[in-house]
């Protein structure tokens, strides 16, 4: 067995390269999802069924909005817009419901969205573990789903997603049925066992993916559903493994990014294709042609599949696989997967008067 394979199957690697025990948080993700499903949102006031749902969040918190939007795409006639930025989009006026989602509760863009929602008198639900957002909710008696703290926001997806799911359900906006939730929980629970550090490389897809990427730059493409997951993989690679990463979605990338796949630069990229069991035949065909064209120039190509039947199980299983893959890449490269010093530095400088 080659050296990097041995490294990922050696407990000492994790002791040395994962000092904050990110592995425990990732292993606990299925339990986090179960706890999050049980978070009681019944105290949220009875709101009117909205015409549009706007989810304001950044980074790891915004990812929970992407997951709601991905599920809503299959279930709802009400549009779900994920807003990453200051203020609110102009669509957020009468009959809009706003979610202000910030795990820390201190993200400037989300606080500004919450302030604008207040000015526009829009019904707003906060989802946070504390900070200024929780203080604002307490001060003005605003609806707030308070979730447990102490995690990195990007690793708190369960806590951020499920309270929104429940609040929407109470408004008769069901982005996932109870059966789909149960299936998704079962799928991530199984996956949690399959991807944990004690599972050897031969039997662990996330370790194999990280090894396949190796020293190359990960480039992640998805399809109509998994394109949003490809973006999440990219940000997890960036934040956990501290590496440049690219992401895109079919069919759009067939109309632009495909031209960038030329030798010799493409040799430095490893292509990860996020395939979906529910893929339409025309998308499948595009993936096959893409592989054919790119395989000869890319540093490597690997495919991953969604698990489960429902859209939530399919989406969440891929997100979880990406979290573990970026984690193993970090450990392999000797990078602490927990800390985000550059990100913290920007926040620190911005908070100075």
The residues of the shown chain that bind ligand F6R, judged by CB under 6 A, are 58-61, 102-104, 107, 110, 152-154, 239, 340, 343
Q: Which residue is nearest to ligand F6R (CB)?
A: 59
| Minimum distance of ligand F6R from residue 258's CB (angstroms) | 29
**Contacts made by residues 203-208, CB under 8 angstroms, sequence distance 24+:** 204/8, 205/304, 205/321, 206/321, 206/324, 206/325, 206/327, 206/328, 207/8, 207/9, 207/328
| Minimum distance of ligand F6R from residue 50's CB (angstroms) | 23
Distance separating the N- and C-terminal Cα atoms of the chain:
55
Q: Which is nearer to ligand F6R, 212 or 340 (CB)?
A: 340
Q: Which is nearer to ligand F6R, 237 or 287 (CB)?
A: 237
CB 101 within 8 A of CB 55: yes
Beta strands 217-222 and 124-128: pairing type? unpaired
Q: 45: which DSSP letter?
A: P
Q: Which is nearer to ligand F6R, 109 or 180 (CB)?
A: 109
Q: What is the 3-state secondary structure (H, E, C) of 306-337?
A: CCCCCHHHHHHHHHHHHHHHHHHHHHHCCCCC
| Minimum distance of ligand F6R from residue 61's CB (angstroms) | 3
CB 349 within 8 A of CB 32: no
Q: Which is nearer to ligand F6R, 78 or 110 (CB)?
A: 110
Q: Which is nearer to ligand F6R, 103 or 320 (CB)?
A: 103
| Minimum distance of ligand F6R from residue 29's CB (angstroms) | 14
Q: What is the 3-state secondary structure (H, E, C) of 152-180?
A: CHHHCHHHHHHHHHHHHHHCCCCCCCHHH
Q: Which is nearer to ligand F6R, 131 or 300 (CB)?
A: 131
Q: Which is nearer to ligand F6R, 235 or 317 (CB)?
A: 235
| Minimum distance of ligand F6R from residue 133's CB (angstroms) | 8
Q: Which is nearer to ligand F6R, 341 or 353 (CB)?
A: 341
Distances (CA, A) of 21 to 71, 191, 313: 31, 19, 26
| Minimum distance of ligand F6R from residue 122's CB (angstroms) | 19
* Whole-angstrom distance, CA of residue 96 vs CA of residue 124: 9
Q: 251: which DSSP letter?
A: T
Strand ranges (E), the chain: 52-56, 80-83, 96-102, 124-128, 144-146, 217-222, 246-249, 269-275, 300-305
Q: What's phi and psi for 209, nearest 5 deg? A: -65, -45
Helix, strand or coil for residue 188? helix
| Minimum distance of ligand F6R from residue 69's CB (angstroms) | 17
Structure tokens at 134: 């929780």
| Minimum distance of ligand F6R from residue 110's CB (angstroms) | 6
| Minimum distance of ligand F6R from residue 109's CB (angstroms) | 8
Q: Which is nearer to ligand F6R, 291 or 347 (CB)?
A: 347
* Whole-angstrom distance, CA of residue 129 vs CA of residue 144: 10
């Amino acid at each position: 067995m080659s050296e990097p394979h041995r490294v990922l199957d050696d407990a000492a690697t994790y002791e040395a390269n994962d000092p904050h025990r990110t592995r425990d948080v990732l292993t606990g993700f299925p339990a986090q999802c179960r706890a999050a499903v049980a978070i009681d949102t019944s105290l949220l006031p009875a709101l009117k069924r909205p015409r549009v749902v706007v989810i304001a969040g950044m980074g790891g918190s915004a990812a929970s909005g992407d997951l709601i939007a991905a599920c809503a795409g299959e279930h709802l006639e009400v549009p779900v817009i994920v807003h990453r930025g200051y203020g609110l989009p102009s669509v957020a006026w009468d009959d809009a419901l706003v979610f202000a989602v910030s795990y820390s509760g201190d993200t400037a863009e989300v606080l500004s969205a919450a302030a604008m929602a207040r000015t526009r008198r829009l019904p707003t639900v906060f989802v946070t573990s504390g900070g200024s957002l929780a203080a604002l909710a307490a001060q003005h008696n605003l609806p707030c789903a308070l979730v447990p703290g102490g995690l990195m926001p990007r690793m708190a997806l369960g806590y951020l997603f499920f309270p929104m799911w429940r609040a929407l359900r109470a408004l008769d906006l069901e982005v996932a049925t109870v059966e789909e939730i149960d299936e998704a929980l079962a799928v991530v629970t199984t996956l949690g066992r399959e991807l944990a550090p004690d599972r050897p490389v031969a039997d662990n897809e996330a370790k194999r993916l990280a090894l396949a990427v190796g020293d190359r730059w990960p480039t992640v493409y998805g399809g109509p559903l998994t394109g949003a997951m490809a973006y999440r993989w990219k940000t997890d690679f960036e934040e956990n493994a501290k590496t440049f990463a690219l992401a895109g979605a079919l069919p759009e990338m067939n109309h632009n990014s495909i031209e960038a796949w030329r030798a010799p630069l493409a040799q430095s990229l490893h292509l990860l294709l996020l395939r979906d069991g529910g893929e339409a035949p025309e998308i499948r065909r595009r993936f096959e042609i893409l592989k054919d064209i790119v395989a000869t120039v890319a540093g490597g190509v690997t495919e991953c599949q969604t698990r489960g039947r429902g859209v939530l199980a399919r989406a969440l299983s891929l997100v979880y696989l990406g979290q573990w893959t970026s984690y193993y890449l970090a450990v392999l490269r000797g990078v602490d997967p927990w800390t985000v010093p550059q990100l913290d530095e920007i926040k620190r400088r911005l908070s100075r008067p």
